[in-house]
Amino acid sequence: MKKYIFIITTILLFGACTDLQEGLREDLPDTENPEASALLQAAYDGMRLPYQDQSRVWASQEHTGDTALGPTRGPDWDDNGIWRAFHAHSWDADHAFLGDTFGELLQIVFSTSNLLDPKFGATAQQAAEARLLRAFVVNSVVDGWGQVPYRQDGTSLLDDASVLSAQEAIDLIISEVDAIANDLTDGPANRANKDAAKVLKMKTLLNKGMYLDRENPSFAAGDMAQVISLADEIINSGKYSLATNYFDNFAPNNDAISTENIFTAENVGGSNSGNVRSRWFCTLHYNQNPSGWNGFATLGDFYSSFEDSDIRKGTEYPSMTDVSGILAGFLEGQQFDQNGTALEDRKGNPLAFTPQVALTESGDDLETTGVRVIKYPIDYNSGDNADNDYVYYRYADVLLMKAEAAMRTGDSGTALDIVNEIRSVRGASALSSIDEASMLAERGRELYWEGSRRTDLLRFGKFLDAWEGKPASDNSRLLFPIPAGSLASNPNLIQNPGY
């Protein structure tokens, strides 16, 4: 701010002495207000914890689904049963991670709304970016909790925030995206941009019927037509293509080499990033490089759904496998270092990961149960501040959403062609037909551990089903509980059924 005041003072002191100085005076109203710039950057940074940390949005999406679980391994990873509760669908209104996630998401809604106060002098582009971030987060809140505390711009902070219903939240997201379309830029991916807005609208329309009726989701033909139209706009732009190497989308230099990423969170290696490193620390064994936390794994049934030829199942990755012996994708069986030396667990047993895994492990193999997952290639150069930009939206998801919308409106031929296009690039064999079950399975294989599995299972009506380590669950699990503190502080909130 001091620098900004100094510039203004200098211009006033030398006003109109030369054409150059007059030009500076004329350009000044179009420059970004440093205070607004700082607030906007704080909003971007504020998204890191709820979206990148392993215990927040990502956990609520993946650990509650059929692609991830966090076993208690003897004395390790008990955490008062908080991970087991996610997987078994036994959480209650006091689940700490769900409560923290709810509060942190709403803090972003507040901070982006605050930026829009005219006193901060945000430019049209800054305001549009803030509104897109806010709409993005509102979507996460309605997805998880079905209602969204929301303060209309300009209302008093002394009043309790009103609460948007699912329908009101949907209407807000779509109206915001439409209103800001012309003020957003075309990129880069790590800023709120035009294509990110289109993807958010696609997701909102695709999930609309589920948000409004979670027990019996519906898919209006008009909504599906809009999903297809928005997808075609992105496809026909020619800006994106399926990556030759799937894992380039998540690599430390993915900002430079990914051909798919549409919207990401910028992480600056070595100096300033979120907790994207948790994506490998949470799953790697103590005796691997880096020494991980030996926690999370995938389910054996999910792992077995991949063909061996599918690159998404696992492959060597440069600057990782040659450094540590670790593959990108799934780690199953005996593990080796970069020299081919077989690794051991802490008891001297072979470090061989098995597909079999239980929520509570107590045997001699408790350190090695469960296939491990490396979705983001490891950054060995940046310390705790990993350089991998965190992926929110990418092109393959756009294609799969178009395929799903086509399938839901009776165009199974287009849906099958799109799915097989993706499978071909990934090295998997072509499917002969497509239906809801195979579409959901393909979304799992393409988007595993990217923080959207719960939403997909809800939309396909499968979230309450039984799977490994989880019995069938009841309808109360369709929504998360409103935290007690939030209920106490805002009487407009109503606890969700079953809590």
Ramachandran quadrant class, 33 (left: phi over 0; alpha: psi -120 to 50; beta: rest): beta
**pLDDT score of 17:** 32
Q: Is 410 helix (H, G, I), strand (E, B) or coil?
A: coil
Angle at 66 between CA 65 and CA 70, to 5 degrees: 80
For residue 18, being part of any structural domain is answered with yes
For residue 406, being part of any structural domain is answered with no
Euclidean distance between the first and final Cα of the chain, in Å? 48
pLDDT in tens, 330-348: 999 999 999 999 999 999 9
For residue 12, being part of any structural domain is answered with yes
For residue 96, give the H/E element and its range: helix 96-115
**pLDDT score of 21:** 31
For residue 120, being part of any structural domain is answered with no
Taking alpha carbons only, the member of 267, 221, 476 closest to residue 390 is 267
For residue 14, being part of any structural domain is answered with yes
Question: Comparing 16-25, 234-243, 468-477, which segment has the lowest mean pLDDT?
Answer: 16-25
Alpha carbon separation from 307 to 302, 314, 421, 429, 434 (Å, rounded):
11, 10, 16, 8, 17
**pLDDT score of 31:** 66
Place 158 in a pLDDT band, splitting at 50, 70 and 90. Answer: low
DSSP 221: H
- What's the mean pLDDT in 16-45? 63
More confident residue, 363 or 17: 363
Q: What total number of domains does the chain contain?
A: 1
Q: How far apart are CA 177 and CA 116, in angstroms?
A: 16
Strand partners, 261: 394
- What's the mean pLDDT in 225-238? 98
For residue 370, being part of any structural domain is answered with no
Is the separation of the CB atoms in 371 and 82 below 8 Å?
no
For residue 15, being part of any structural domain is answered with yes
Residue 368, pLDDT > 50, answer yes
Q: How far apart are CA 61 and CA 80, in angstroms?
A: 20
Q: How far apart are CA 54 and CA 237, in angstroms?
A: 34
Residue 164, pLDDT > 70, answer yes
Q: How many CB atoms lie within 10 A of CB 394?
A: 26
For residue 1, being part of any structural domain is answered with yes
pTM above 0.75, yes or no: yes
Both tokens of 17, joined, read 């002495």
Place 160 in a pLDDT band, splitting at 50, 70 and 90. Answer: confident
Q: Residue 24 sits in which domain range?
A: 1-31
Average pLDDT of the chain is 93
